Amino acid sequence: MADRYTRRTGVLCKVEAVYGVAETVFTAADGLLFVEPPQFLIEADNVARNLVTPWMGNSEELPATRRAKLNFKVELAGAGVAGTPPAWGKLLRGCGFAEAIVPAPAPVPYVRYTPVNDGFESLTFRFFRDGVRYLAKGGRGTVKLDLNAYGIPTLDFEFWAFDTQAITSVVPAIDLSAFIQPQVVSDANSGNIWVGASETDGVVTGGATLASKGISWDIGNNLSHRKILGGERIAITDRAVSGKMAVDLSAADEIAWRDTINANTLAAMSFTHGTGAGSLIVVHAARVQRTNPQAIDDGGNVLIQTDLRALPGPGGATEIAIVAR
């Protein structure tokens, strides 16, 4: 009996030049570094024959389409060099984000990621698990950002891809050096939540600050497996960006907070994390609706937890921006 170990796992990922055409040239630098063991599931859409016979028993199912579902987390850190796409940048591109590299003379060079409404890119995955390589192409996904206080910031991805294939293969050489060490979300490494601030070139100005337990965002892409002859694909059909935060408010501030929410007053929400050029991450949503404020216990202290809904601009401006600088 062969011993096969889940720890012998590796994943290579590459942006596709043409949708649904699997990339064939991979290097060690295409590898991904995960926080926890990644999950790779193959879902088959089999078709039952449903035969009518004078006896009981199953009819077989015939294989039709199948798709891969990949779930994994990566650490949220910069590239180490301002203006260089971080290692997770290609994953955001597969989640309906556009990547814009902005060189000097900005305050510092930076890379900006914003969601788009069409022209979505896609990814080819090679997933290796102790002796077997799975290929999945046309991958598109969604992502959650976790920037909660006193934890390691992470990006939690779910991708769908199709046309999974398995062959015998060892885990190849993988270079994970592009994934730099993250910084814990803390007072030393992060700022407060900014309400009503503006963001330009990855720099947040104005507004008011709130002490908090950090912030989380869910990009909320709706994924669909379009099973069309000659045009099979994974589609991003809609997006609903939502979030959550818990803030420290005085009694008077809580009342004003609730009045603002009841009046449905929109406000920008910003969060900056990291120290030093090449390590800074800025998340900014320009129009946010706050809902469902609830008092929660935090070690005997009162915090006000609030749900967030990021809204596009009146002219279709993007709801949220992620900046690495």
Note the pTM of the prediction, 2 decimals. Answer: 0.94
The pLDDT of residue 4: 82
Domain containing 245 equals 9-43+63-324
Q: How far is Cα 131 from Cα 61, in angstroms, rounded to an integer?
A: 28
- Looking at residue 8, what is its pLDDT? 85
Residue-averaged pLDDT of the chain: 94
Total tally of structural domains belonging to the chain? 1
For residue 55, being part of any structural domain is answered with no
What pairing do the DSSP bridges indicate for beta strands 242-247 and 110-115?
Answer: unpaired
Q: Say what the pLDDT of residue 1 is.
A: 66
Kindly tell me the burial class for residue 33, based on how many C-beta atoms sit within 10 Å of its own C-beta (0-12, 13-18, 19 or more): middle
Q: Contact, 256 vs 51, CB < 8 A?
A: no
Q: What integer is the mean pLDDT of 68-97?
A: 96
Q: Is the pLDDT at 9 greater than 90, yes or no?
A: no
Residue pLDDT, tens place only, 34-71: 999 999 999 988 999 999 999 999 999 998 888 999 99
Q: Give the amino acid at 23.
A: E
Is residue 50 domain-resident? no
Contact 236, 307 (CB under 8 A): no
Report yes or no on 2 lying in a domain: no
How much helix, strand and coil, in percent to the nearest 5, is found in the chain? 5, 50, 45
Residue 300 lies inside a defined structural domain of this protein: yes
User: How many residues are given for the chain?
Assistant: 325
**Is the predicted pLDDT of residue 248 greater than 70, yes or no?**
yes
Distance CA 201, CA 42 (A): 41
Q: Would 51 be classed as within a structural domain?
A: no
Contacts of 91 (CB under 8 A, 6+ apart): 13, 32, 74, 123, 141, 143, 155, 157
Is residue 4 domain-resident? Answer: no
Please give the structure tokens belonging to residue 167. 């062959």
| Residue 249 within any structural domain of the chain | yes
Summarize pLDDT for 88-143 with one digit per residue, the tens.
Answer: 999 999 999 999 999 977 778 999 999 999 999 999 999 998 889 999 999 999 99
Whether pLDDT at 146 is above 90: yes
Percent of the chain scored above 90 by pLDDT?
86
